Amino acid sequence: MPQVELSIVVLSWNTKDLTLECLAALVADRPQYACEIIVIDNASHDGSADAIAAAHPGVRLVRNQENVGYARGNNQGAALAAGTYVCLLNSDTQVREGALDLLVDFLATNPGYGAVAPKLVNPDGSVQKACQRFPGLLTALCFDTWIGRLWPGTIVERRYHYRDFDHLTTRDVDQPPGACFVMRTAEYRQLAGFDESLWLFFNDVDLCRRIWRRGQRIRYLAEAVVMHHGGASTRHFPSFVVTWHRNRLAYYRKHYGVLAMPYVRAVVRMRAFEEWLKAKSKHADPGDVRKERAFLGQCVREILAP
């Protein structure tokens, strides 16, 4: 049996049909590099694990007894990887022919790069413009708030979302989409992989930032194409908003220090107040207004809890 060169880690959580399609695309691709596929099932309750085992007996399947989160689940898979390179691949993707070869080829011939990611496309073939620059303190103020919709907040928003980049050409980026992300396995382990305190969100941003800080670059490779459904798991996650904000707070604490925390926490309150004001225009029934505002208050308390 040839030595494994590429380990593909697929994290699965309640995306049975999409995961099966993802694995079928991997099997059909037949990359030139010797591959292994590792699936970490995060305690899915839709029969994903049994379906994967039945359809793809050659896949290494790990059945977690609980949902340990995106960061820890991917780290589990990377710890098992036998390949020189590791590809972290979302379960709601389908690799296009030759994409993995191009990604591994790039790292194999460019030692100054720490990671590479493909162009993502929607099921209809349109490009997902998902690369981002690293979020700064002004990003926290402008992202998804009324300030970001007014000048000069619009400048901060445009810069953060790479609005100056059409995503059709290859270039270096701060943070490419994390749906398909390839690194050298040894370097992933040297960096201790994803920060598991960032349970679901911002772990990929943090990892990319640490790659850049060690003097390596990250490549967005437009010639490699992966279809991505986008958010198939997270859109059904019941604590999406609270977890996103808590992970963002943890990211800012890690990279900007405790002195930045009163500011970022104030931004959370400001954003919640914006939704509090909108509640009256969204509901005709005063009771529904009170319910939404009470829910917002509970969310803020959970987000800002120690």
188-205 tens-digit pLDDT: 999 999 999 999 999 999
Q: Which of 268, 269, 292 is nearest to 280 (CA)?
A: 292
pLDDT of amino acid 29: 87
pLDDT surpasses 70 at 22: yes
pLDDT surpasses 90 at 65: yes
Locate the DSSP E strands across 122-270.
171-172, 180-184, 217-228
Residue owning tokens 């920060």: 195
pLDDT digits over 206-237, tens only? 999 999 999 999 999 999 999 999 766 566 66
pLDDT grade for 158, boundaries at 50, 70 and 90:
very high
pLDDT digits over 77-87, tens only? 999 999 999 99
Least confident span in 1-5, 60-64, 120-124: 1-5
Mean pLDDT across 167-180: 96
Q: Which H or E element spans position 144?
A: none
pLDDT grade for 238, boundaries at 50, 70 and 90:
low
Contact 275, 296 (CB under 8 A): yes
Cis peptide before 152 (omega within 30 of 0): yes
Distance CA 286, CA 279 (A): 10
